[in-house]
Chain A
Amino acid sequence: MIRFLQLVVQNGSFILFLILQTYCIYQVIQYNQRQKDIYIYSSQKWTNSLQSKINTVNNYFSLRKKNDDLAQENANLLTQQLNHQSLLNTIVSIDTNKQNKIDSGLARYHVLAAKVINNSVSKVNNTMTLDKGSKAGVLPGMGVVGPHGVVGIVTDTSEHFSLVMSLLHTKSKLSVKLKRSHFFGTLSWKGRNPEIVELNDIQKYADLKLNDTIVTSGFSIVFPEGLPIGTVDAFQVEAGGFSYSINVKLFENLSALDHVYLINHLYKSEKNQLENLSTKYE
């Protein structure tokens, strides 16, 4: 402190000069519009370039959160889209069948966003693990779709995680149809190429071409109607058979999945209950 005071006494005039000069420059900037503009312009030029660099670095820290936010937003948009589709279907059916009334619960689907945290494609029975569980509202039987197409079905859930039976599972059976001609069949996997799944049960008189798009049929309530799955890669009729054996190339690359969406049909139990009645008449 004493040294500092000595310094002040010794360089008193210089410090006074600095103080007064600073005050002058402050005054110049404060009261003269022209200098003020120049000051703001040039200081912003410097700070802006620094600020943009800081932002670039900061953006990296928030990327994870932004990704999650975007996934959530996508889930919301997907919910809306699916509900609009089902609403449109309802309206069409009202037109054809006038005495029907629109039921109050038009929203039929709810979509959750989740992240794949464990995945495999090389085994015979492939599963994947998602980072959302029963606490976030995931239920067994929910459909899982990726950004490009169908991925699989939730089989089990714990509190914070859920297990998904991928399309690349020999027990996976999915009801699908040809988008163009509406013939439907069953999708399954034989456990070889993770990019190709097999579509059976399409009768050999069906209208079928290469590169036809395969979409979900909507018969099983797991997936709404019309979600993309893949395209026809190759097809043939087995000797003496009645149906095509079709190789379907999947849209979704199951080995590079990150964010997925879980689709829940809100009236699933109601439909299952109703369909269970059918056993009475067998």
Chain B
Amino acid sequence: MNSTTLLHILRIVILSLIQILVCKHIPLQSGAVQYMFLIIYPVGLILLPLQLPQFFNLLIAFACGAFVDLFYQSPGVHAGACLWMMFCRPLILKIFEPKSGYSTNQHPTGDSLGLFWFLQYAAVLMLIFFIAYFSLEIFTFVYFGEIVLKTILSFLVSMFFIFILQIVISPKQ
């Protein structure tokens, strides 16, 4: 286990802690039903290095989701959504692959591949995450409208924070 891997794992842990200690308690509720949820910890998974085998990616995603689940009292919901997102990541990476392909020293960050590239890439994965998350939470497609509404609102607010985070922290790796 080299220092880069440790850095990624540390980042995921810190983001998860921010999620459960801060974001979870931010009230974004105006009516009786909360439609807006600020969820930023998947960024840690999105930023995982390109070279890591998918097998480990999935294990990390599951562990991360399960950890957050412990504090959300919703066993399986976050872990399942993280797994879906991570499962789709190679496909999304392939779609957004630059013409010259990924080089070994590139990372899926705004600093390495351009801010616009990163926002596109992160937006698609976050969208997948939210759809999976709210579908698993409600667990029936009867409330399809509710799923869509929650997904869009949460996606917008979360993406806004992810954008700020990306500019402020600007991770190199």
Contacts and interface: CB of A to CB of B under 8 A. Distances in A.
Interface stretch (B54-62, B98-106, B112-120): B54-62
A37 to B, nearest CB: 9
Interface in A12-59: 12-14, 16-17, 20-21, 23-32, 34-35, 38-39, 42
B171 interface: no
A16 B55 contact: yes
A172 B84 CA distance: 86
A25 B53 contact: no
A20 B139 contact: no
Given A20-B62, A21-B83, A28 B77 contact: yes
A13 B140 CA distance: 27
A16 B59 contact: yes
Interface size of A as a range? 20 to 34
Given A13-B53, A13-B58, A16-B58, A24 B79 contact: yes
B55 A13 contact: yes
Contact of A30 (B69, B75, B136, B140): B75
Interface string B42-80: 000000000001110111001001000100001111011
A24 B136 contact: yes
B136 A28 contact: yes
Interface of A: 12-14, 16-17, 20-21, 23-32, 34-35, 38-39, 42
Given A13-B57, A39-B139, 15 more contacts: A13-B54, A16-B58, A20-B58, A20-B62, A21-B84, A24-B65, A24-B83, A27-B75, A28-B136, A29-B76, A31-B75, A31-B76, A32-B75, A32-B77, A38-B140
9 closest cross-chain pairs (CB), A and B: A27-B76, A24-B80, A13-B54, A28-B76, A24-B76, A27-B75, A35-B139, A31-B75, A24-B79
